[in-house]
Amino acid sequence: MCCSPASLCPPGPTTTPPLRRPPRARCVEGRGAASEYHSAATTRSLCSTPFPHRSPVLRPRRRIPASPSLLDDNHFELVHILIKMAVSLKSSGSFCSTPPQWLHSTRDRILYGYSHSNAKECTCKKTKRPAPLCVKATSTKVELDFNDPSWKQKFQEDWDKRFNLPRITDIYDLKPRPTTFSLKKNRSPAGDENGTPMDKWNGYVNSDDRALLKVIKYSSPKSAGAECIDPDCSWVEQRVHRAGPRKEIYYEPEEVKAAIVTCGGLCPGLNDVIRQIVFTLETYGVKNIVGIPFGYRGFFEKGLKEMPLSRHLVENINLAGGSFLGVSRGGAKTSEIVDSIQARRIDMLFVLGGNGTHAGANAIHEECRKRKLKVSVVAVPKTIDNDILLMDKTFGFDTAVEEAQRAINSAYIEARSAYHGIGLVKLMGRSSGFIAMHASLSSGQVDVCLIPEVPFTLDGEYGVLRHLEHLLKTKGFCVVCVAEAAGQELLQKSGATDASGNVILSDIGVHMQQKIKMHFKDIGVPADVKYIDPTYMVRACRANASDAILCTVLGQNAVHGAFAGFSGITSCICNTHYVYLPITEVITVPKRVNPNSRMWHRCLTSTGQPDFH
Ligand SMILES: Nc1ncnc2c1ncn2[C@@H]1O[C@H](COP(=O)(O)OP(=O)(O)O)[C@@H](O)[C@H]1O
Ligand SMILES: O=P(O)(O)OC[C@H]1O[C@](O)(COP(=O)(O)O)[C@@H](O)[C@@H]1O
Ligand SMILES: [Mg+2]
């Protein structure tokens, strides 16, 4: 954590420029088909009513009240991709005549077919009205026409195909054996000829068990948060595979060599997952368990030796943060990694990491398939950024938020205790603002939360700086929380990337600190700016209680998934249920905060901040 020295601003005149702004007429921008999704009445009232009594504190937010469609954060980025694909399809002349859509206007519209990998949206050629039956959704496997009475069945068949879990039996003709995993085995007096306990333990998950990804039936596409596949917002079950131990397994535990690797940046809970994987493997009867040191690098870097792991060795590792095995970025050469897997005779590989790691895990899984190796590659989603699609959250996120709000609290105390104090906190999040949004919400002490998904300006009448002036005048102090990826368009780009190819972001925190100081100096208003950058503090700590539970379950399920013969899957939590997803479904894009989601609106309600542009 680093704090700037006390403000160098000289005392100046205490009068601040007037903060009240002239009311502006607001319109929901109608680019192409975008506006056509609002009823005429809605559009009229939105465009004709300026805000004559605009409060200086709470400027109404543009677009938000008018938005009928609130996609949740899990699907927002997917929608972004779908729209881009629809646009490119359109421009390639392969689809109907919809003018190009831009992300911002798209967010305000109802979108159908969100859950496909390729959605298309159009208006009927001869009418300006939105024409629901023109809306089509396609996926890579099936094209849906909602005029077709069997579209639901087709959708579900396509869905089931996409979310079907790859397994080693896809390439190998293998017979399963009864599981060796039973929590009651020590109490069971007799076993069968395989030594499998004969108790009546009923803790197995049936392979046909599914969890629903969505549970709300929206009555209208205009309902808050509605995610509709078709224009009538029909109920279509989207089921995913339930995680957990199966009655039959595809490995002989005694013969298994299992390896664990942790990649990417640090994240609270890595040790908890490693520990649970080891415990669960041992419960199955696996004796040969190793850790690959320092991420994927450990597979091929000379001098890095695999580490034998056992319950005894990992018993207490969860008491500390970091990774017992070490982490690293970069250096993922799939063929070399698979050579190494082959040479080491690894049967199960457990990969803990974020979106990059998952992409790597999938490449390893594919390469193993190509070489016809009987290897199960199972991932566990790790990242404080919480930026992996479809899942409720990734492990480490809760803990990072908890730590981040401690930094916010310090900024608040500093700001509140200073004359015209301004506390500024920068929080991590490579491509999304989840940590900043949740830490702002949880602390309740933030006046301005800035995230990459919502553009803002610093200068000018509607800029952040003018709002800070206002806060100093009315409140006497303020706290700003900025996500590290926010406002990158305001900064010079270095173009540099890290070893994994991730773009190295310019420092918005330092930039804002300087801009705030300069601004208040220029207008002659004293301001005491304290900048806190808790960057590595929020992720180098040990997991909190809720993350520790999440890690425990995810780690156990990863092992159950491998023994069940799955490969190329990730063990995660969706809609409060523990499930397995094919890695391919979660790595298309990073998950981002949906500016039209209920959560972002709640954050805005909490901070009371206006639009900053
Ligand atoms: N598209 C990809 N294909 C294969 N491996 C990848 C890919 N992207 C990243 N990796 C590898 O995954 C590891 C972790 O990636 P990184 O982006 O640093 O962290 P995270 O997994 O947390 O997103 C690195 O070793 C990197 O080389
Ligand atoms: O460890 P580094 O290389 O400084 O990376 C910092 C980045 O790591 C993170 O903490 C987590 O990112 P990953 O999930 O990719 O590991 C980001 O929030 C941040 O941008
Ligand atoms: Mg990442």
Distance 451 CA to ligand 1 centre (A): 24
Among all ligands shown, which has an atom nearest to the Cα of 500? 1
Please list every protein residue whose CB sits less than 6 Å from any atom of ligand 1. Answer: 263-265, 295-296, 329-332, 353-357, 359-360, 363, 383, 500, 502
505 alpha carbon to ligand 3 midpoint, in Å?
13
Residue-wise pLDDT for 208-254, tens only, equals: 999 999 888 989 887 777 778 898 999 999 999 999 999 999 999 99
Cβ 392 vs Cβ 75: under 8 Å = no
Assign 3-state DSSP to the chain and report helix, strand, coil percentages, each to 5.
35, 15, 50
pLDDT in tens, 114-154: 332 333 333 333 333 332 222 223 334 467 899 999 999 99
- Flag whether 497 is marked binding: no
The verdict on whether residue 419 carries a ligand-binding annotation is: no
Q: How many CA atoms lie within 13 A of 179 on its CB side?
A: 29
| Residue 383 near ligand 2, beta carbon < 6 Å | yes
- What single DSSP character describes residue 171? T
Q: Ligand 1 test: best mutation among 263, 273, 385, most atoms within 8 Å of CB?
A: 263
Q: Average pLDDT for residues 174-200, to the nearest whole number?
A: 71
Nearest CA to 230 out of 243, 238, 220, 240 is that of 220
CB 483 within 8 A of CB 491: no
Atom index in ligand 2 nearest the CA of residue 264 equals: 16
Instruction: Tell which residue, 2, 17, 1, has the closest CA to residue 468.
Output: 17
Paired with 119 in beta bridges are 137
User: What residue owns the CA closest to ligand 2's atom 5?
Assistant: 265
Q: Which protein residues have their CB within 5 A of the ion that is ligand 3?
A: 354-356
**Alpha-carbon dihedral angle through residues 599, 602, 604, 605, given to the nearest 10 degrees:** 170
What's the confidence (pLDDT) of residue 140? 40
Report the separation in Å between the CA atom of 543 and the middle of ligand 3, taken as the mean of its atom positions. 19
CA distance 40 to 47: 11
Distance CA 332, CA 430 (A): 20
Residue-wise pLDDT for 335-374, tens only, equals 999 999 999 999 999 999 999 999 999 999 999 999 999 9
Average confidence score pLDDT of the chain: 80
Q: How far is the CA of 491 from the centre of ligand 3 (A)?
A: 22
- In tens, the pLDDT along 395-407 reads 999 999 999 999 9
Cα–Cα distance for residue pair 64/58, rounded to 1 Å? 14
ipTM, two decimals, is: 0.98
β-sheet with 118-120: strand ranges across? 118-120, 136-138, 143-145
Question: What pLDDT, on a 0 to 100 scale, did the predictor assign at position 161?
Answer: 95
Of 385, 387, 398, 547, the catalytic one is 385
Residue at 581: amino acid letter: L
Q: Is the pTM of this model over 0.95?
A: no
Ligand 2 binding pocket mutation candidate from 270, 428, 437 (most atoms within 8 A of CB): 428
Q: What pLDDT does residue 71 have?
A: 46
pLDDT given for residue 290 in this prediction: 98
**What is the percentage of the chain residues whose pLDDT exceeds 70?**
74
What's the CA gap between 341 and 325, in Å, rounded? 17
Q: How far is the CA of 355 from the centre of ligand 1 (A)?
A: 7
Predicted pLDDT of residue 328: 96
Element (H, E) at 577: strand 577-582
Q: Whose CA is nearest to atom 17 of ligand 1?
A: 356
CA distance 80 to 323: 34
pLDDT at 600 over 50: yes
User: Does residue 364 contact residue 377 with C-beta atoms inside 8 Å?
Assistant: yes
Tokens 């917002």 appear where?
A: 233
Other residues' Cβ atoms within 10 Å of the Cβ of residue 29:
13
How far apart are alpha carbons 532 and 535 in whole angstroms?
A: 9
Mutate to test the pocket of ligand 2, among 296, 352, 384, 537 (most ligand atoms within 8 A of CB): 384
Question: Can you give the pLDDT at residue 222?
Answer: 79
Output the pLDDT for position 261: 98
Q: What is the pLDDT of residue 387?
A: 96
Known catalytic residue at 209: no
By alpha-carbon position, which residue is closest to atom 20 of ligand 1?
A: 354
Dist CA 551 CA 435 (whole Å): 19
Please indicate if the annotation marks 538 as binding a ligand.
yes
Residue in the structure block whose two tokens are 């809970």? 269
Distance 265 CA to ligand 2 centre (A): 5
Segments of 305-435 assigned E as strands: 307-308, 348-353, 376-381, 421-427
The residues facing 377 across adjacent strands are 349
pLDDT tens across 266-296, in order?
999 999 999 999 999 999 999 999 999 999 9
CA distance linking residue 197 with residue 203, whole number of Å: 13
Q: For 415-463, write each residue's pLDDT tens digit.
A: 999 999 999 999 999 999 999 999 999 999 999 999 999 999 999 999 9
Q: Are 83 and 111 in contact (CB under 8 A)?
A: yes
**3-class state of residue 576 by DSSP:** coil
End-to-end CA distance of the chain: 30
What HEC string does 102-147 produce? Answer: CHHHHHCCCCECCCCCEEECCCCCCCCCCCHHHCEEECCCCEEECC
Type and span of the H or E element at 571? strand 569-574
The domains located in the chain, with CATH, are: 22-48+71-162 (no CATH), 243-392+542-585 (3.40.50.450), 397-538 (3.40.50.460)
Calculate the dihedral angle through the C-alpha atoms of 84, 87, 93, 94, rounding to the nearest 10 degrees.
Answer: 60
